[in-house]
């Protein structure tokens, strides 16, 4: 079978970086048509630079990287340096990237690519705020039909929130964009905190990355070391959740994830609960299902997939 065509929309971030490495290490299954970058964990200039650092680390400087929206549709940008450090990729010292960023805007690339590729042949993988994707859908509604699926990291139900008591970071940063995506009618698979908080690094899992002895393996271990300190302190957990790699792992081995096809609506008006993903997990309304909302994964299998693929870089 030919590899599945994907566009990865991202705001790196250490966990985005691991997701990108996983995708770039899996050319038999995934053809990365482009990496579109959005402001989120840190401002756009840094997320673009970080995307290039990761592509170079993967040994794939030919990857097409596009800069996208530098702020949410209708709100001020909220960033997460408190989690990811001031560069967004704090931890190990990284070389300055030299690969070029493409001239086109990320949104134009998404629109043009979807129009050029056969219907239903491209999967979008958003790992950050949904600003680029929503802008593309608003500007070119005809592309909705052409998307095979959107597999995204965002939201929470049982875990509620990580940036406010009620909201997960990616959805909170641009709730208007999230609403457009969740109302689009495009098949959605959602990796909320409910599942990503089970994709936890532990000492043996981080040691396994480090033991690969490769540049990529050591970087992943050092990024997770840095990224862990925040979550260990906040949640008292054994390690840190590798949120965004869940999206790519789903494309590679979907059977390791478990969820429900339910209705999910986005709160866009109340400041108190702004960006909340109101998931009808118990099916108490007759609102039609619009998303496969994940709740669990086989964490050992997830980490063994990650380690074996990172080993290939
Ligand atoms: C999400 O927010 C970001 O900090 C991470 O990269 C992930 O995409 C988790 O809430
Ligand atoms: Ca992210």
Beta carbon of 153 within 6 Å of any ligand 1 atom: yes
The ligand that comes nearest to the alpha carbon of residue 83 is 1
Beta carbon of 13 within 6 Å of any ligand 1 atom: yes
By the 8 A CB rule, do 228 and 201 touch? yes
Question: Which helix (H) or strand (E) element contains residue 229?
Answer: helix 215-235
Q: How remote is the CA of residue 192 from the centroid of ligand 1, in Å?
A: 10
Q: How remote is the CA of residue 13 from the centroid of ligand 2, in Å?
A: 6
Beta carbon of 162 within 6 Å of any ligand 1 atom: yes
Closest atom of ligand 1 relative to the 128 alpha carbon: 8
Beta carbon of 244 within 6 Å of any ligand 1 atom: yes
Q: How remote is the CA of residue 168 from the centroid of ligand 1, in Å?
A: 8
By the 8 A CB rule, do 66 and 105 touch? yes
Ligand 1 pocket mutation, candidates 11, 17, 54, 199, criterion most atoms within 8 A of CB: 11
Beta carbon of 231 within 6 Å of any ligand 1 atom: no
By the 8 A CB rule, do 34 and 60 touch? no
By the 8 A CB rule, do 250 and 209 touch? no
Query: Mapping DSSP to helix (H, G, I), strand (E, B) and coil, where does residue 32 land?
Result: strand
Ligand 2 is an ion; its neighbours by CB within 5 Å are 11, 13, 16, 127-128, 244
- What's the confidence (pLDDT) of residue 186? 98
Residue 55 exposure: Cα atoms within 13 Å on the Cβ side: 26
- What's the confidence (pLDDT) of residue 3? 98
Please count the residues of the chain: 313
Beta carbon of 243 within 6 Å of any ligand 1 atom: yes
Q: How many CB atoms lie within 10 A of CB 75?
A: 17
Q: For residues 297 and 158, give the distance between their C-alpha atoms in angstroms, rounded to a whole number.
A: 15
Q: Which of 205, 292, 199, 296 is CA-nearest to residue 256?
A: 296
Active site annotation includes 261:
no
- What's the confidence (pLDDT) of residue 103? 98
Q: How remote is the CA of residue 297 from the centroid of ligand 2, in Å?
A: 19
Closest atom of ligand 1 relative to the 13 alpha carbon: 6
Q: For residues 33 and 261, give the distance between their C-alpha atoms in angstroms, rounded to a whole number.
A: 28
Q: For residues 32 and 44, give the distance between their C-alpha atoms in angstroms, rounded to a whole number.
A: 21
Q: For residues 222 and 226, give the distance between their C-alpha atoms in angstroms, rounded to a whole number.
A: 6
Question: Which helix (H) or strand (E) element contains residue 132?
Answer: helix 131-139
- What's the confidence (pLDDT) of residue 201? 92
Closest atom of ligand 1 relative to the 241 alpha carbon: 9
Q: For residues 81 and 36, give the distance between their C-alpha atoms in angstroms, rounded to a whole number.
A: 21
The ligand that comes nearest to the alpha carbon of residue 230 is 1
Beta carbon of 83 within 6 Å of any ligand 1 atom: yes
User: For the chain, which residues score pLDDT lower than 70?
Assistant: none
The ligand that comes nearest to the alpha carbon of residue 10 is 2
Among 84, 197, 243, 261, the one annotated catalytic: 243
Phi and psi at residue 215, to the nearest 5°: -60, -45
Query: Mapping DSSP to helix (H, G, I), strand (E, B) and coil, where does residue 36 land?
Result: strand
Could you identify the residue written with the tokens 């042949």? 121
Q: How remote is the CA of residue 21 from the centroid of ligand 1, in Å?
A: 16
Residue 214 exposure: Cα atoms within 13 Å on the Cβ side: 17
Q: What's the predicted TM-score (pTM) here?
A: 0.97
Q: For residues 167 and 65, give the distance between their C-alpha atoms in angstroms, rounded to a whole number.
A: 29
Closest atom of ligand 1 relative to the 14 alpha carbon: 6
């Amino acid at each position: 079978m030919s590899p599945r065509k994907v566009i990865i929309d991202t705001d790196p971030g250490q966990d985005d970086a691991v997701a990108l490495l996983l995708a770039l290490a899996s050319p038999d299954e995934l053809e990365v048509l482009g990496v579109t970058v959005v402001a989120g964990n840190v401002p756009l200039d840094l997320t673009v630079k970080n995307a290039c650092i990761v592509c170079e680390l993967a040994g794939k400087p030919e990857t097409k990287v596009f800069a996208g929206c530098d702020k949410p549709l209708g709100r001020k940008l909220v960033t997460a340096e408190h989690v990811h450090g001031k560069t967004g990729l704090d931890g190990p010292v990284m070389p300055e990237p030299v690969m070029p960023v493409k001239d086109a805007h990320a949104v134009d690339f998404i629109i043009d690519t979807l129009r050029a590729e056969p219907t239903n042949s491209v999967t979008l993988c958003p790992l950050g705020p949904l600003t680029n994707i929503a802008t593309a859908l608003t500007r070119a509604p005809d592309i909705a039909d052409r998307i095979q699926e959107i597999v995204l990291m965002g939201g929470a139900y049982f875990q509620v929130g990580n940036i406010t008591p009620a909201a997960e970071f990616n959805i909170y940063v641009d709730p208007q964009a999230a609403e457009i995506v969740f109302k689009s009618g495009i098949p959605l698979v959602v990796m909320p905190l409910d599942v990503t908080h089970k994709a936890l690094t532990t000492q043996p899992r981080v040691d396994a990355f480090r033991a690969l002895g490769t540049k990529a393996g050591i970087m992943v271990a050092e990024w997770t070391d840095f990224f862990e300190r925040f979550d260990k302190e906040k949640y008292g957990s054994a390690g840190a959740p590798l949120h965004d790699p869940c999206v790519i792992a789903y494309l590679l081995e979907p059977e390791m994830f478990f969820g429900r096809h339910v209705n999910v609506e986005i709160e866009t008006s109340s400041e108190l609960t702004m960006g909340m993903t109101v998931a009808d997990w118990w099916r108490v309304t007759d609102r039609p299902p619009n998303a496969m909302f994940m709740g669990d994964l086989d964490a050992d299998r997830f980490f063994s997939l990650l380690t074996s693929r990172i080993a290939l870089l």
